[in-house]
Amino acid sequence: MSAWLRIPAAASLALLAATLAMPAPAAAQGKLEAHYDVTLAGILVGTGAWAVDIFDDQYSAAASGGTTGLLKAFAHGTGSGSSQGRIVNGALAPATYTATISSSKKSETIHMSLAGGNVKDFVIEPTPPVDTKRIPVTDAHKRGVFDPMSATLVRVPGTADPLGPEACHAATGVFDGRMRYDLRLDFKRMETVKSEKGYHGPAVVCAIYFSPIAGYVPDRLAIKYLAAQRNMEIWLAPIAGTRVLVPYRLTIPTPLGTGKLEATQFITTATPNAAAAKAQ
């Protein structure tokens, strides 16, 4: 489930944050508890859980997942990740990111700290072998970026309904500890979604485009395939009480059929801010 947790890099897949510096309403606080199924050509291959909290001037997100069904018999894998940060002038400012990906052959943990949109420090444990085929990541590549999990939280600026075309007018840089890539969204349409448990309402559908920058092997087929894709979609739904949208569904055409990540549970609630709570 590295694709789900590190949110694309092919593997950190295809999501992003439109976190423009716009003032946030004082009561912009809420939480999300979601469960997802991952299917390939209609066959269940993975499951995941995701929790997001937005409160006062801080936010946190945590996810876990793993392979399941037939795929588990051939390629067992699990993963977990978390991200924390602050909300500064209405924009998300990541501070820490951790992800652990495990398979039957190995386990890897990534720790990253950020400040002002720049990577201050990161480490991969155990230290991976040097791959001379990878395009080197420079200090410049680690500036003006989000960690992969913060990049899934799309904050829509302004005061109008966040569920509209403006949600897809965004592009951002992402660094996942190994790879630097850009993600860009374009508005496609509006849809109505209904989860098995929780949210039933409108979703914004955006086209999503993946552009590798550094830290990848140019000849790797998966990277070439994702970079050439023009039919990937991400469906965004709101976290109640906030201007933040998050992925409800993600679809990627593959040679084996459509790959899809979709929420089966999407429970989101607004919470009172600290000032309001004290006044009660």
Buried residues in 187-212 as b, exposed as e (16+ CB within 10 A)? ebeeeebebeebbeeebbbbbbbbeb
Closest among 188, 165, 184 to 174, alpha carbons compared: 184
For residue 137, give the DSSP letter: P
> Can you say how many angstroms the Cα of residue 195 is from the centroid of all Cα atoms in its chain?
19
Residue 111's identity, in one-letter code, is H
In a domain, 247, yes or no: yes
pLDDT of residue 71: 61
The Cα 36–Cα 256 span in angstroms is 20
Sequence-ordered strand ranges (E) for 104-159: 107-115, 118-125, 154-155
Reading the chain (280 residues) residue by residue, the pLDDT tens digits are 333 333 333 333 333 333 222 333 334 699 999 999 999 999 999 999 999 999 888 999 999 999 886 565 556 789 999 999 998 887 899 999 999 999 888 899 999 999 999 999 999 999 999 999 999 999 999 999 999 999 999 998 888 899 999 999 988 999 999 999 999 999 999 999 999 999 999 999 999 999 999 999 999 999 999 999 999 999 999 999 999 999 999 999 999 999 999 999 999 999 876 544 444 3
In a domain, 280, yes or no: no
Q: Answer for the pair 183, 151: CB distance below 8 angstroms, yes or no.
A: yes
pLDDT of residue 28: 65
Helix, strand, coil shares, percent, the chain, to 5 = 10, 55, 35
Q: Answer for the pair 110, 11: CB distance below 8 angstroms, yes or no.
A: no
pLDDT of residue 5: 33
The dihedral built from the CA positions of residue 150, 152, 157 and 163, taken in this order, carries a sign that is: negative
pLDDT of residue 273: 64
Q: Answer for the pair 82, 97: CB distance below 8 angstroms, yes or no.
A: yes
Tell me if the bond preceding 126 is cis, omega within 30° of 0.
yes
> What's the domain range around 231?
2-267
In a domain, 148, yes or no: yes
The model's pTM: 0.86
Total count of domains within the chain: 1
**Beta pairing partners, 76:** none
Place of tokens 């989000």: 146
In a domain, 114, yes or no: yes
Place of tokens 């600290």: 274
**Beta pairing partners, 158:** none
The Cα 116–Cα 147 span in angstroms is 12
In a domain, 49, yes or no: yes
In a domain, 65, yes or no: yes
pLDDT of residue 76: 74
The Cα 199–Cα 268 span in angstroms is 7
> Can you say how many angstroms the Cα of residue 259 is from the centroid of all Cα atoms in its chain?
16
In a domain, 160, yes or no: yes
SS3 166: helix
